[in-house]
Every structure is written in structure tokens, then in C-alpha cells.
Structure 1
Amino acid sequence: MSAQSSQRIFWGAGTLVLCIWFLIPGGNHGFSEFLTAGMVVGLGSLAVSLKFFPGLKRQVPDLDATQMTRPIVEKTVATSASLIEQLETLAEPTPQSAAFKEQLDLIDLHRQEPRLLVTGAPGVGKSTLMELLQTRYQASKEACVLHEIGSLSHSATLEISPPVMAADLILYVIQGDLTDSEYQCLQTLQAHKQRVLVVLNKQDQYLPTQRLILQQKLQQRLQPWLSESDIVTTSAYPQAVKVRRYSEDGSCQEELERPQPDVSGLTQRLDQVLAAEKGQLILFQTYQQTVALRTQVQGELNGVRRQLATPIIERYQWITGATAFANPVPTLDMLAAAAISAKMVMELGSLYRLKFSLAQAQAVASTLATAMLKLGLVEVSTQALSSLLKGHHFTFVAGGLVQGVSTAHLTRIAGLSLLEHFQELSDLAVAAPESNWDPEKLKQIVAKVFQEHQKVDALKDFTQQSIGRFRRQGGLLEAPAS
């Protein structure tokens, strides 16, 4: 969704409120009341569009094993190392940062042995199949690492466990038609681009025609993303069958005899896949491992940055609020401009290694102020806070308290919006990410952050904090008891 579409949603919702507002019979509906209601509905609509239309978010390239190259992996490793270094620069070394360095050291760009993982639901024959494969690879002296884990649990968030993420090739064992749970697990693996072979075990329990029908059903269900050759059949532990043995004197003796295991279909397909894809699969798994580490480090780094940014934002919000309280301004545009400081832009940007010049910081501050005015945030904020202050036990001089609280609130919204946009900019793999700040994107973020901080309880708490701050400046008087 483009910024233009977002604006249409916002103004469309506001226009709808205008029509309904003046068609409601009875009562006098003032324009200021309409404006507040219209802006709130418009902002709500815009926030919904931001949440549910992923096109507004920067897309990450979706790579699979066939697209993987060593330079891509090496670049991801270097990025992870840089993030760890930034984390240690911003904060004192912690056990978490030490653990990140250990994980990075364990990433092996020269690994040759493929890692195979055997998994599936309970009772499908994983352990027996695992033993047969281990015997086979030990006898052939081929280097291969085999692991087994229990049943996978699918996740709506598409999260998979570290052992699964560490596997180059997954053998997903089933014993019949796919259950819903098995199908969902396979979908999760496919979403993570994991290389999978589906192993239909216990094929000896089916008649030849039944086996054929079952294989066809599996192929049809998995066909969109799994080739026919990647669905193989095995009999890791065949059922014993009754055998009659006749002696020379014509007597007959019945015995139960267990046929030899048959995993030839699986081993043949394994040999083919490893011969053709081993190098790419190892590279891709190493890439996934590095990306997972990078994501963890990035999350920790962003948490530290926010901790360091909080006192900076609070300092500026109380400075701007106190200034507006002591010296009220006559217009909303001046109020918006007073709420945003270029110095705050530069100071917050430095936490994300964004080197804004004074001119760039002033442009960012001006864009924020303009966005707040065009979206009606200044009007909505002032009216909402004014209504909360009407019933308070303190009076104020010349409307200064309302402007002071509103300015401090807008400064906080601006600071939190900058953090979100700066986090996105810091993720860009470019030489000067600060040059890529996006006015339209920043406008969308401001609307979203403002909506998130418009809950009545949160505004009440902020109002109380502001009054406590401004009271120390003087000018607040106890209201006489009525």
C-alpha cells in the first residue's frame, strides 16, 4: 500500500464522520467536536491499514538453498559481528553479548559433513530407521551427521526449534496418509525453506495397490512444493510373516520370519540429493544459522538502544513542555514546531550510528511537525489533554498548562516515532543510511505511534507526571473548593 492510499483511508474516514455528524438529529454539534471525532476515526483507520497491509513494511529478500552463495553468507556473518560490536560499544559487556560471540565463533563456513535430521510423530519408526542409516553410513565411511528428535509442533508464527534449523536435510517420517498435524508441520518447514524428504515407512503393512493409492494421494497433496521423487517408501522393521518349510519326508513346519529391512528407496534418493545439493544445503543452513543469530543480536541491541533513548526523550519532552508552559504560543503550527528539536533528532540518531548533519536533522524535525499538523495530531492531543485537565484540582495561568502538557506529549510521540524509523534505517546495508530517511514512512509511523499512545489511562498518567514537573516551576495554584 502506498502513502497515497493511506492518506485516502484517513481522509475518507474523516469525511464519513462529517456526513454522519451533521445528519444526526438533535443537539448542537460544534465543529471542534466534529474535528476531534473525525481525526480519531481517521487515525484509527490509518493505524489499521498500517497493521494489516504488509506492503507498508520493508520486504526482506526471500532466499532459498538454490540462490545461496558464499559471499552472501560471509556478508551475513560480518553483519552479525558488527552488531555484536555495536552492542558492546553501547553497553558494558554482559553474559548475553558473550554468548552471542560464542555462537558466532561456532559458525563454520568450511563445514563439509551434511547434517541429517530424522523426525516425525510417535510410533512411525524413527529410531529404527535412524539405526539403519547410521549402520549404512558407518559401513560406507561417508561423513554424515545424523540426529533424531521427537514430533515437531507446528506454530502459527512459523517458529522452528534450533535442532531443526541446524539440519541441512530433514527426513520427515510418516506411516500412512498425512494427518492435519503432520501436514501443518510440513507447511512450517516449507515456509522456512527447509529441504525435506517425506519417508513413508511401514510400507509392508499395505498391499501393492494400497501403497500406490497412498503414494498418489501424498504426491497430490504435497505437489505444490515437494517433488514426486522426494516422497520415498521404506520398511525399517517389517512385520513377521508366517513361512511354511517342507522337509524331504513331506512334513510341513510353520514359522514366523521377519523379512529384511528395506530402505533402499531412501538411501538411493539420499545419495542423489547429497551428490547434487550438499554444498548448497550446507551453505543455506549456515546462512539460516547466521540470520537467526543476527536477529537475536539485533533484538538485544534495539532493546539497549531504547533503554538509552528513554531518558533522552524524557529530557527533551520536559524541556519543551516547560518552555511552552512558561511561554504559551499563539498557534498550533508553532506548538508543533516547538515540540520537536533538531538536537533530539541528532542525539537519538547517534544511538543508531546515524550521522545526521544539522541541516538533515532540521529537515527531519520539520517533517515531523508538518506531519503532526496535517494528521491533526496537535488538535486531537490538545483537546484530549484539555478535557482531562478541566476537572483537575489545579488551575493554570493563560492556558500554559494545556500547552505545556500537549507539547511534552507531542515531543514524546515524535521521539518514539524517530526510534522506530531509525531502527529501520540502521538495518539498511548502505554506506550512509541517514540519507535514506523517508518523509512518507515517517508520517505513517507518527500516526501509528500516536494511536498507540491515545489510551485514556496512559494520557491520565502522562498528565499527572506533567503537572508534577510543571508545579515545581511555579504558576500552578490550588483550585478553591466549590
Structure 2
Amino acid sequence: MVPEQGPVNGDSHLALARESLRELLNDKRVPPAVRSALAADYQQLQLLLEKIEHGHIHIAVFGRVSVGKSALLNALLGETRFSTSPLHGETTHATHARWQEYDAGGVFLIDTPGINEVAGEERERLAHDVASRCDLVLFVVEGDITDTELRALRQVKSAAQRLVLVLNKIDRYTPADRELLLQTLRQRAEGLIEAHDIVTAAAQPAERIVILVDADGNETESRRRPAPDVAALRERIWDILKAEGKTMAALNAGLFAGRFSDRLSHEIIVIRRDLAEKVVRNYCLAKGVAVALNPIPVADLLAAVATDAAMIIHLSRVYGLPITRGEAGSLLKTIFTQLVFLMGTVWVMHLAASALKGISLGLSTVVTAAAQGAVAWYGTYVVGKAAEQYFAQGKSWGEGGPKRVVQDILDSLDRDSLLAQAREDILARLKPLL
């Protein structure tokens, strides 16, 4: 039986998904450090793109240990391709096989480890990882769903685009018990799985004793295993692939691309923040030392402005939003205006220390110079953090404007600790020069 191809709009969905994955893979704006940090994710992205380009569909089984996941796949395949055992933990790695019965670009069945394996955090993570990259997940149970299984079902639901709940080993139950179990499963899985996506199966029926009576009335006892019963599951899978195959694959690719984009954005933000912090601190030290070494107050202020403006230009490049010197000057003026309003006493200390430095001698000159340099260091740090916030928000101050940004930064900083750190750094640089 070969199902028909999906609806025409499935092709357009796949085309969009394919283009989206290619854009993510070929985005030249991503810093090399980010690509290195997300190397495994980029590899998965490439594999997902190849999967779509070849028209492959991936179907994975998910569930507790020994519910019959491997046996279920073997029954669908019509041959033993996946290992089965009464012992727990037979499946230790995700394995796959091509389902030749469905000829529509290539359907692959994927077996996964049990979700409740002993010391199985790594295996559970592997199973969840496989589920997030598959187009259809068969969640297998062997009776009423447990609380552990229900929690896992919710987790899988968040990672998988399409789910089918399979009640396996139904040969163990009477018809009345089967109907009661199905009714219970529909109630407990309400909101997670549609009723028509809950099916029954007997992947590996238990052996039965068969008694044969010959013509003379002699009885012969033998044990036979009935044939697997996966007809309802096979039909449901075919119906889903027929109606949703291409769209399902596109949506799954879109979900993965969305999660990847979120992680990519987060990683870029983290790396930019780390780099911005280094840039700001380097300029703080450069300004602190320059101010400490220059005994002329006016020259100190000119050096401060030049250093801060250069730092702002550097930060704009870190965030991929380069600005001109004029724009940097305007931004610095905006920040400086708020600093003078909110931190006026610090700048009075700055000017007073500058005057003292010019008339001090010996060790006191070094100490006073370091104190003034530390104040300049601190001021540049605040300017840098404010500019960084401005660029991080896409060259915007946000609803509260620059005053709110600067105030929040001042409130979040431990000024005494920063000044102490600045003095130590500046003294370490000054002593070899004086």
C-alpha cells in the first residue's frame, strides 16, 4: 500500500523551511566564537536540511523501559531489525531503519532508550533530543499511563510536532478491559493527544498453549506465538503521512529552527556582553592611567572625553551597529548630562583631586593620582555600561529614557568596590612609570 503524496501546500511549507535553514547555516553575521560554541547545533541543522532536501520522514518511539518499543518497530517493519529483550535497558542508543513499506521519499523508524532507565539522565536526554528532531513520535505505554509517563508525555509534546499514543500488549487484556483502558487514556491525555491518535497494538503477543487432537483422539500440546497486531497503528501512521507528511516535516524543521535561533541569539548576547565588558574595562584602565599621569586638570577632562568617545565607537562595532564620531559625541553628551545630574558629587571629587595632584610631592602624588584616576575609571565604566545598554536595545534608550538607564546602572554598581579595584589596577600600572 502506497499512500498518496501530501497536499500541494506541503511543498511550499517545505520550501520555506528549507530556505529558513539555509539562511541560518549561511548567516555571515554570526561571530566565529558563536559558531564554535554551537558547533553541535549547526551540525544538527545541516542534517535537518539534508533530511528535508531528500524528502525523508523520521518516526521515533518513546516510552518507558520494556513497554515494547523495539518490538513495535520490528512488527511495523515485518522483520527483526531492532533488538528486544526481557531485560531492562536493551536499547542504549538511538538506532534507525528504513520502512520500505511506505515509499514516499523515505520513512525511517527510530528506536530510543527507555525514559526511566537506571542512571538514565543521559539516555533520557538522548531520547528527548531524538524526539525534537523527528516528525512523528509514537509514545508507547502498556497499561494505564503513570504519573511519570504523563510528565514525560508533556515533555515530549513540547519537543515533538506530532504525537500518537500507542497502547501496546493489548493481548493481555479482555475486550472490556481494553475499552476501559482506552477510555482512561483518552481522559488522562486530554489536551495533549487527540482521541483518534490513541491506538492499540500487540507487537509481540505472548505465547499460547495450543492443543491438537488427531483422528484417534490423541492430544498434542504445543506453544505458539500469534502474529503481531499493528494494523490500527500502521493505518493511523499512513493516514497522518498522507494528510500531513510534508507539512509535518516543515513544521518540525521550523520548530527546530526557532529553538536554534533563540539559542543563537542568546549565545550572541552572552559573547557580546563578555566582549563589551572587556572593552569597557580596557578603556577604563587607559583613561584612569592617562588622567593620573596628566597633572593639568583641563587636559584631564579633554583626555576623558576623547577616551569615552573612542570607547563608544568600539562598543557600537561590538554590537554590529557602527556609528560616526559625531554620533558618538552626541551619545556621550547625553550620558554625561545624566551623570552630572545624578552623580555630581563624584565629579566634584574628580576636580578636587586634580588640583591636589598638581601640588603634591613624592608618594602622596602617586596616591592622589591613583585616587583621581580611579574616579575617572569609574566614570568611564558607567558611561560604557550605559552605551552598551543603548546598543543592546538596538540604539534605543527604551521607555524610561537615558536617565532611567543611567540611574539603574548606578543603583546596580558597588561603587566602593569598583573604586578600590580601579585604584589597585592604576597603581600597578603607575609604579613602574614613576
Same fold (TM over 0.5): yes
Q: Which residue of 2 aligns with 1:387?
A: none
Equivalent residue, structure 2, for 1:468: 428
1:230 match: 197
- How large is the RMSD of aligned CA atoms in angstroms? 4.6
Q: Is the 8 A contact 1:121 1:174 kept in 2?
A: yes
Q: Within 1, Cα distance between the matches of 2:126 and 2:340?
A: 41
Deviations 1:347-390 (A, max 9, x none): 1111332132445434543554566677x67879999xxxxxxx
2:72 counterpart of 1:129 = yes
Report how far residue 140 of structure 1 moved: 4.9
Offset of 1:129 from its aligned partner? 0.9
Q: How far is the alpha carbon of 1:161 from its aligned partner?
A: 5.0
Q: 1:112 to 1:455 in 2, by over 3 A?
A: farther
Q: CA deviation at 1:257?
A: 2.8
1:221 aligns with 2:188: yes
Which residue number in structure 2 is paired with residue 411 of structure 1?
Answer: 380
8 A Cα contact 2:373 2:423, kept in partner: no
Residues 333-412 of structure 1 mapped to structure 2, 5 A cutoff: 341-369=308-336, 401-412=370-381
In 1, Cα distance between the equivalents of 2:158 and 2:237?
22
Q: Which amino acid aligns with 1:170?
A: V
CA 1:215–1:461 in structure 2 vs 1: closer, same or farther (change >3 Å)? farther
Identity of aligned residues (%): 24
Question: Does 2:208 align with 1:241?
Answer: yes
SS at match of 2:210: strand
The 3 A distance-change label for structure 1 pair 291 and 245 is same
Aligned to 1:165: 132
What is the number of equivalent residue pairs in this alignment?
379
Tell me by how many angstroms 1:422 deviates.
3.7
1:111 aligns with 2:72: no
The structure 1 residue matched to 2:31, chosen from 56, 81, 87, is 87
CA displacement, residues 62-118 of structure 1 (integer Å, 9 cap, x when unaligned): xxx9x96743652453244224x5435xx8x99779888766654235332211112
Distance 1:263 1:381 in 2: 80
Indicate whether 1:438 and 2:398 are aligned. Answer: yes
Counterpart position of 2:91:
none
Aligned partners of 1:140 and 1:69: how far apart in 2?
20
1:174 matched to 2:118? The reply is no
Instruction: Report the TM-score, using the length of structure 1 for normalisation.
Output: 0.63
The answer to whether the 8 A contact 1:234-1:263 is kept is yes
Task: State the Cα distance separating 1:236 from its structure 2 match.
Answer: 0.4
- Equivalent of residue 78 in structure 1, options 15, 20, 23: 23
Match for residue 170 of structure 2 among 188, 197, 203:
203
CA 1:275–1:311 in structure 2 vs 1: closer, same or farther (change >3 Å)? same
Partner of 2:279: 312
Q: Specify the structure having the higher radius of gyration (Cα).
A: 2
Alpha-carbon contact 2:131-2:159 (below 8 Å) kept: no
Q: 1:340, 1:414 within 8 Å by CA — same for their partners in 2?
A: no
Q: What are the ranges of 5 or more consecutive residues in structure 2 without an aligned counterpart?
A: 1-9, 80-98, 350-362
Task: Measure, in 2, the Cα distance between the counterparts of 1:252 and 1:381.
Answer: 107
Q: Which residues in structure 2 correspond to 1:49-64 (within 5 Å)?
A: none
Task: State how far apart, in whole Å, the 1-side matches of 2:37 and 2:325 are.
Answer: 36
- Shift of the alpha carbon at 1:242? 3.1
CA 1:297–1:457 in structure 2 vs 1: closer, same or farther (change >3 Å)?
A: same
Long gaps (5+) in structure 1: 1-64, 384-393, 426-433, 475-482
C-alpha distance in structure 1 between counterparts of 2:286 and 2:325, whole Å: 20
TM norm structure 2:
0.69
Displacement of 1:317: 0.8
Bigger drift between 68-77 and 309-318 goes to 68-77
